[in-house]
Chains A and B, each alone.
Chain A
């Protein structure tokens, strides 16, 4: 699996936007960019995923660089509930393959 690089930790103020970066310079043409997060004492949960175009859903936005070698997860207004470890994961589009987790970014949100 292609690898991703994320900062170990980031900090944000409550109700401010948060931009979580991810580098994936060895991404292949069939790799989707997935983001999951793990809240304390819970299993990971899906956030968003995309292939080439920017994506928006109720939780977040995903901005994908034109060369697809990097992406940014955007939380538009961080809340205390958004404090979690965020994982950027590349996954082949064929599906039914397991997620391979890196170390992720631990996001702290300050009230």
Chain B
């Protein structure tokens, strides 16, 4: 199994500002995944983050808006830049453990006012 710690758990931010979300895993993992969950919706993949390389973004998500860092095999950050109320969502990180089982953090609940 893998234990994921996400920080902050929630935040209220002013529009136009940026927030960096941290994801710490208790074991080394090859890939980390970042998801967004808009209110009342399912999870949507933002990007895949490999250590030592640029993140791979899904359609509709761009690096300027959601820059990702992956400095080592246990840590990643996602920044939500120049925020607007439409960015109000839950942001989750995920990793894959043994036997193709995915583990998720508790999420960061972001409200942009």
Q: Which residues of A contact B (CB under 8 A)?
A: 32, 34, 36, 42-46, 49, 85, 87, 91, 93, 95-96, 98-104
Contact = CB atoms under 8 A, between A and B. Distances in A.
Contacts of A104: 42
Contacts of B103: 46
Interface in B14-31: 30-31
Given A98-B33, A99-B45, 8 more contacts: A34-B100, A43-B92, A43-B105, A93-B100, A96-B96, A98-B31, A98-B94, A103-B42
Contacts of A93: 100
Contacts, number: 49
A27 to B, nearest CB: 16
11 contacts: A36-B102, A43-B92, A44-B104, A46-B102, A46-B103, A93-B100, A95-B96, A95-B100, A98-B31, A101-B43, A104-B42
Contact of B100 (A42, A49, A102): A49
Contact of B102 (A42, A99, A102, A103): A99
Contacts of B105: 43
Interface residues of B, number: 21
